[in-house]
């Protein structure tokens, strides 16, 4: 059996199907002698994976072996548990493994810790209760166990560093011991004591000391020590050094350590070993935000790295430069990036770099021409793999412009010119995204150059594009939209006529659609002008997502006897139920079932979608029922059943356009090295003189030299954008556009905040909206000119696709129900409220008594205790407010006063809060009486609570004689008031 299993492993390894033997592996692990068991376990761990169903069969075996007295069996079981174990079976073995933590053999303890680490990774909440056992493992006398527990701690500290601050000292001690060579000699690697352990400890310390001066304080010494010790010239010591440096720069800074770390980085960067150079650059990139001067020191090295033959080094250098970019050096840096981009072939690199360039260009662009040129390069190289945000942002920038009208105009003019130039080249192949951007810009802004350029020329060029084979249908839709826009600005053009002729017979239904739309628009110029106003891309369109303007039409249709619309699923349901009815109970059931199903739809109608209320309510009960289902989507119904309506056509148009909008189709567009007309004077060729390098350095680091921290910070927060986006003002455009639009007044509502938010989705949605507007209104046009009818079959899918549209403009839906939406303001009161909840205030009946101000007695990160003295008729009432400042609920909070000979606390000395919720306040009252007379005495108390561990807070209250003489106080207060 054993032999067979080994062969099976061999087969599996070679890639042959061997799943038939899995069960035997489990059996072998279950039954065999020690040797066979081992083979069985090995086979299981190789064959099965985490979620394999057969793994459940193994659980029993594991449990049995864990209880075994044979050390080897326990070991094997623990090993397999730490490799693969089903998550849901953890509780079955957890107690056994916990026991193993106390085992006398260190190897068992170590394996148990590893198994628990595995559990922590797959189900962290299951091992929460054994955190203190981890602590024990950390202090284990065997180094292996301790090292294994570090993994758990690294993971836990990564998730929540604040909870383990108290362990800092232990980690520091361990690191000290390791560095000091206290470990057994076995752990030395090339005479460095346990280097991997050191690396891990340094990482943990870095995480713990981040932004925490007090904790950082503890580790300065040991860091210094490690830096000093790691002097031997070996790879692994460099690894430790690197970690040290990183830790030093992560924790709260200490000047002389920083200095040493900087020296280390210098060593790395200048090292002839390429790996070290790479790490040095990485460290520099990491450090640069804190200490730009360091980059200045190494600027010559950085310049050299820019021309390094290794592309990885180059990329790291660019990453570094990206961090130090500012308004002054942006041209050079972007140029460098573009150069690199042109050489690189990897998709990952391109995506990454393209978005960086676009960001930099947008932020720091020194001139319009440069900006457009750069973006052209980005589009042509980045092409179809780049993130869809980039073209969207770019177009938005163009459309919304800056604050300065004139500048906008120039930018647009330049964009149009450059695109025309690009299109002039006959054989150039551009990525689809780029073509889309071009056609949009030309469509919107070509009128700017009308003085010098002929719209005919532009249109001809666009038409030519349409005929090219590499243009996808999505892009064609963009181009057609552009042509329509241009055509609207000019009286009759031959090109347009030709285009219409050509595409009216096109096989592509989309194109035919556009051609017809265009044709009808051309026939009615006034309408076209209204529909496609100049430079209106920023005006928000109001889209009546509920299509309520069709209500009248629906009502008419119904009155003519058309059947009410039923959604697809309902129709199917009915069909089914009818079939059933035919089979079993021909008449009665079919009626009732259809009734019930119509009632059903009425009930589940999406809240926002009900409209056409004018129709309902004036018919018989049965009719009403029908109406209610009609209300839900009466419009769709008409389309659905009959399909004779011209509106349908608009519908498809809309869908096509919608289809066209979502970016991200990555259809094969070839990349083109687009010639940059801008002379790149500053490019350094390897052969160039040192002098020129220095010049380059000076241009690169120009902003840094002046220690321009602001521009560096500007990197992190995007406030210093050069192109400030204008906040959009939503404009309600209503029915003037076309005679047949029946916008409800309530519908033309678009809350300002939504339009203003910079959210991408909104950008997209506004784009949708914009596009939709044209198609929507075109449908209205068609409705107006009734002469035009085109019977077309309807697809259900098309109707369903309408729902997402509705979601895009939720505001109009809400408005439909006359619900006013105020989105952003609601947030503020809740914040205020949460703050207010932590401010102690007396309940009303207590507040009527004379009382002191609430005074803070003591506080820590999680809790604060406030005291308020209330003088009631018969005693002194101490009201204690315990506020939980943390974000988690505190349980079992105990408040205890110490016994005092002078005072007596009536209700007993202690008070117990079962739970204090996060960010909330609890109060308790204690009435105090004076037992022995005294002038002034201190009442001491303490507060205990349990978070990760027992924590106590002490406080004291000074009570004086006057506190107990109520009337005196009362008088005093009154007197004070009188004065």
Partner 1 sequence: MIKAILIFNNHGKPRLSKFYQRYSEDIQQQIIRETFHLVSKRDENVCNFLEGGLLIGGSDNKLIYRHYATLYFVFCVDSSESELGILDLIQVFVETLDKCFENVCELDLIFHVDKAGLAGAPARAVSAVKNMNLPEIPRNINIGDISIKVPNLPSFK
Q: 281, 317 in Cβ contact below 8 A?
A: yes
- The residue among 243 and 408 lying less far from partner 1, judged by its C-beta, is 243
To partner 1, the closest distance from the beta carbon of 382 in angstroms equals 16
Question: Per the structure block, which two tokens stand in for 746?
Answer: 């309530």
| CB contact set of 329 (below 8 Å; sequence gap of 6+) | 699, 700, 701, 702, 703
Helix and strand element counts for the chain (H, E): 46, 11
Q: 756, 818 in Cβ contact below 8 A?
A: no
Residue where the block lists tokens 């031959």? 494
Burial class (CB in 10 A: 0-12, 13-18, 19+), 288: buried
To partner 1, the closest distance from the beta carbon of 76 in angstroms equals 11
- The residue among 242 and 723 lying less far from partner 1, judged by its C-beta, is 242
| CB contact set of 494 (below 8 Å; sequence gap of 6+) | 456
- The residue among 137 and 864 lying less far from partner 1, judged by its C-beta, is 137
- The residue among 263 and 273 lying less far from partner 1, judged by its C-beta, is 273
- The residue among 206 and 401 lying less far from partner 1, judged by its C-beta, is 206
To partner 1, the closest distance from the beta carbon of 312 in angstroms equals 6
- The residue among 241 and 477 lying less far from partner 1, judged by its C-beta, is 241
The radius of gyration of the chain's CA atoms, rounded to the nearest angstrom, is: 38
- The residue among 52 and 571 lying less far from partner 1, judged by its C-beta, is 52
To partner 1, the closest distance from the beta carbon of 290 in angstroms equals 20
To partner 1, the closest distance from the beta carbon of 325 in angstroms equals 21
Phi-psi region of 555 (alpha: psi -120 to 50; beta: other; left: phi over 0): alpha
- The residue among 158 and 932 lying less far from partner 1, judged by its C-beta, is 158
Question: Distance between CA atoms of 679 and 673, rounded to whole angstroms?
Answer: 15
Question: Distance between CA atoms of 710 and 719, rounded to whole angstroms?
Answer: 11
- The residue among 144 and 266 lying less far from partner 1, judged by its C-beta, is 144
To partner 1, the closest distance from the beta carbon of 196 in angstroms equals 3
Query: In angstroms, how far is CA 326 from the centroid of its own chain?
Result: 27
Q: 863, 871 in Cβ contact below 8 A?
A: no
- The residue among 146 and 423 lying less far from partner 1, judged by its C-beta, is 146
Question: Per the structure block, which two tokens stand in for 496?
Answer: 């347009």
To partner 1, the closest distance from the beta carbon of 479 in angstroms equals 32
To partner 1, the closest distance from the beta carbon of 883 in angstroms equals 37
- The residue among 189 and 970 lying less far from partner 1, judged by its C-beta, is 189
Closest CA relative to residue 475, chosen from 595, 379, 571? 379
To partner 1, the closest distance from the beta carbon of 254 in angstroms equals 23
Closest CA relative to residue 139, chosen from 108, 187, 101, 91? 101
Q: What share of the chain is helix, strand, coil (3-state, %, to 5)?
A: 65, 10, 30
Angle at alpha carbon of residue 864, lines to 861 and 868, rounded to 5°: 170
To partner 1, the closest distance from the beta carbon of 241 in angstroms equals 9
DSSP output for 820-873: ---TGGGHHHHHHHHHHTTS----HHHHTS-BPPPEEEEE-SSEEEEEEEEE-S
Q: How many CB atoms lie within 10 A of CB 66?
A: 22
To partner 1, the closest distance from the beta carbon of 188 in angstroms equals 8
Question: Per the structure block, which two tokens stand in for 173?
Answer: 């001690």
Closest CA relative to residue 443, chosen from 540, 372, 379, 534? 534
Question: Distance between CA atoms of 930 and 908, rounded to whole angstroms?
Answer: 14
To partner 1, the closest distance from the beta carbon of 73 in angstroms equals 14
Q: 357, 749 in Cβ contact below 8 A?
A: no
Q: 364, 327 in Cβ contact below 8 A?
A: yes
Closest CA relative to residue 34, chosen from 67, 4, 63, 77? 77
Residue where the block lists tokens 């040095």? 280
Which H/E stretch holds residue 931?
A: none
Measured distance between the N- and C-terminal CA atoms of the chain, rounded to whole angstroms: 103
Closest CA relative to residue 570, chosen from 488, 494, 650, 640? 640
Question: Per the structure block, which two tokens stand in for 683?
Answer: 């490019």
Residues that bind partner 1 (CB under 8 A): 3, 6-7, 10, 13, 15, 35, 38-39, 42, 49-51, 110, 114, 143-144, 147-148, 151, 154, 158, 186-189, 194-197, 199-200, 203, 235-236, 238-239, 242-243, 274-275, 277-279, 309-310, 312-313, 315, 346-349, 352
To partner 1, the closest distance from the beta carbon of 350 in angstroms equals 11
To partner 1, the closest distance from the beta carbon of 126 in angstroms equals 20
Query: In angstroms, how far is CA 215 from the centroid of its own chain?
Result: 31
- The residue among 110 and 728 lying less far from partner 1, judged by its C-beta, is 110
Q: How many CB atoms lie within 10 A of CB 662?
A: 12
To partner 1, the closest distance from the beta carbon of 393 in angstroms equals 21
C-alpha distances in angstroms, 812 versus 208, 277, 732? 50, 58, 12
């Amino acid at each position: 059996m054993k032999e067979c299993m080994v062969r099976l492993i061999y087969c599996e390894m070679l890639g042959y199907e061997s799943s038939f033997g899995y069960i035997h592996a489990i059996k072998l692990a279950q039954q065999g002698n020690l040797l066979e068991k081992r083979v069985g376990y090995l086979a299981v761990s190789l064959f099965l994976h985490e979620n394999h169903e057969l793994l459940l069969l193994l659980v029993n075996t594991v449990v049995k072996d864990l209880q075994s007295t044979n050390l080897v069996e326990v070991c094997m079981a623990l090993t397999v548990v730490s490799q693969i174990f089903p998550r849901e079976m953890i509780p079955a073995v957890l107690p056994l493994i916990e026991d193993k933590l106390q085992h006398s053999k260190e190897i068992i303890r170590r394996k148990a810790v590893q198994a628990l680490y595995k559990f922590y990774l797959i189900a962290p909440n299951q091992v929460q209760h054994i955190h203190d056992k981890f602590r024990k493992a950390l202090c284990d006398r065997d180094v292996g166990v301790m090292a294994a527990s570090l993994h758990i701690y690294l993971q836990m500290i990564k998730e929540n560093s604040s909870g383990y601050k108290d362990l800092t000292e232990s980690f520091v001690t361990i690191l000290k011991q390791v560095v000091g060579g206290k470990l057994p000699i076995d752990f030395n690697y090339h005479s460095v004591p346990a280097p991997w352990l050191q690396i891990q400890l340094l990482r943990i310390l870095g995480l713990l000391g981040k932004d925490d001066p007090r904790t950082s304080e503890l580790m300065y010494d040991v860091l210094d020590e490690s830096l000093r010790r790691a002097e031997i010239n070996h790879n692994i010591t460099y690894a430790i050094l690197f970690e040290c440096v990183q830790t030093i720069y992560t924790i709260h800074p200490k000047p002389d350590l920083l200095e040493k770390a900087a020296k280390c980085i210098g060593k790395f960067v200048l090292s002839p070993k390429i790996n070290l150079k790479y790490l040095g650059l990485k460290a520099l990139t990491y450090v640069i935000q804190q200490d730009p001067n360091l980059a200045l020191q190494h600027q010559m090295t950085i310049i050299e790295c820019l021309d390094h033959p290794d592309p990885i080094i180059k990329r790291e250098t660019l990453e570094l430069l990206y961090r130090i970019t500012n308004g002054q050096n942006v041209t050079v840096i972007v140029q460098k990036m573009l150069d690199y981009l042109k050489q690189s072939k990897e998709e990952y690199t391109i995506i990454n770099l393209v978005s960086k360039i676009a960001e930099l260009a947008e932020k720091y662009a020194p001139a319009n021409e440069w900006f457009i040129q750069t973006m052209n390069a980005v589009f042509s190289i980045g092409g179809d793999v780049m993130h869809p945000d980039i073209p969207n942002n770019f177009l938005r920038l163009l459309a919304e412009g800056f604050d300065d009208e004139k500048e906008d105009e120039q930018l647009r003019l330049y964009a149009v010119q450059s695109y025309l130039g690009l299109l002039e080249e006959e054989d150039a192949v551009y990525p689809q995204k780029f073509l889309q951007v071009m056609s949009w810009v030309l469509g919107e802004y070509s009128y700017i150059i009308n003085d010098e350029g002929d719209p005919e020329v532009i249109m001809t060029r666009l038409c030519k594009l349409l005929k090219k084979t590499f243009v996808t249908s999505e892009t064609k839709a963009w181009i057609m939209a552009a042509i329509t826009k241009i055509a609207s600005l000019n009286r009759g053009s031959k090109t347009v006529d030709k285009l219409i002729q050509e595409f009216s017979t096109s096989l592509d239904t989309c194109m035919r659609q556009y051609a017809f739309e265009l044709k009808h628009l051309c026939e009615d110029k006034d309408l076209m002008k209204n529909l496609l106003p100049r430079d209106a891309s920023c005006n928000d369109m109001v889209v009546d997502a509920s299509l309520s303007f069709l209500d009248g039409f629906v009502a008419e249709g119904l009155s003519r006897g058309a059947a009410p619309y039923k959604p697809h699923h309902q129709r199917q349901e009915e069909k089914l139920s009818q079939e059933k009815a035919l089979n079993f109970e021909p008449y009665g059931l079919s009626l009732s079932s259809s009734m019930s199903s119509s009632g059903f739809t009425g009930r589940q109608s999406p809240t926002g979608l009900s409209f056409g209320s004018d129709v309902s309510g004036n018919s018989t009960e049965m009719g009403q029922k029908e109406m209610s289902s009609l209300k839900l989507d009466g419009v769709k119904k008409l389309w659905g059943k009959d399909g004779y309506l011209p509106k349908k056509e608009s519908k498809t148009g809309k869908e096509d356009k919608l289809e066209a909008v979502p970016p991200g189709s990555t259809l094969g567009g070839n990349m083109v090295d687009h010639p940059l007309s801008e002379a790149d004077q500053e490019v350094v060729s390897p052969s160039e003189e040192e002098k020129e390098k220095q010049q380059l350095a000076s241009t690169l680091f120009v902003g840094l030299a002046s220690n321009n921290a602001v521009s560096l910070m500007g990197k992190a927060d995007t406030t210093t954008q050069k192109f400030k986006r204008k906040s959009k003002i939503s404009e309600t455009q209503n029915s003037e556009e076309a005679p047949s639009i029946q916008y409800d007044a309530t519908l033309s509502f678009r809350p300002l905040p939504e339009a203003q938010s910079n959210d991408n989705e909104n950008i997209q949605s506004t784009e949708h909206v914009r596009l939709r507007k044209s198609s929507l209104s075109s449908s209205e046009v068609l409705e107006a000119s009734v002469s035009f009818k085109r019977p077309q079959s309807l697809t259900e899918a098309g109707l369903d696709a309408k729902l997402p549209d509705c979601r895009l403009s939720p505001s109009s839906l809400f408005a439909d129900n006359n619900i006013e939406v105020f989105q952003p303001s609601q947030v503020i009161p809740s914040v205020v409220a949460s703050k207010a909840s932590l401010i102690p205030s007396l309940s009303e009946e207590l507040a009527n008594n004379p009382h002191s101000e609430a005074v803070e007695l003591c506080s820590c990160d999680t809790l604060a205790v406030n005291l308020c003295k209330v003088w009631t008729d018969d005693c002194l009432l101490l009201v204690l407010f315990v506020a939980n400042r943390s974000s988690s609920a505190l349980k079992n909070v105990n408040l205890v006063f110490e016994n005092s000979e002078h005072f007596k606390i009536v209700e007993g000395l202690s008070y117990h809060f079962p739970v204090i919720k996060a960010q909330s306040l609890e109060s308790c009252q204690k009435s105090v009486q004076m037992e022995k007379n005294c002038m002034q005495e201190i009442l001491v108390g303490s507060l205990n609570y349990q978070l990760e561990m027992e924590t106590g807070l002490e406080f004291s209250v000074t009570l004086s004689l006057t506190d107990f003489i109520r009337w005196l106080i009362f008088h005093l207060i009154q007197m004070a008031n009188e004065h």
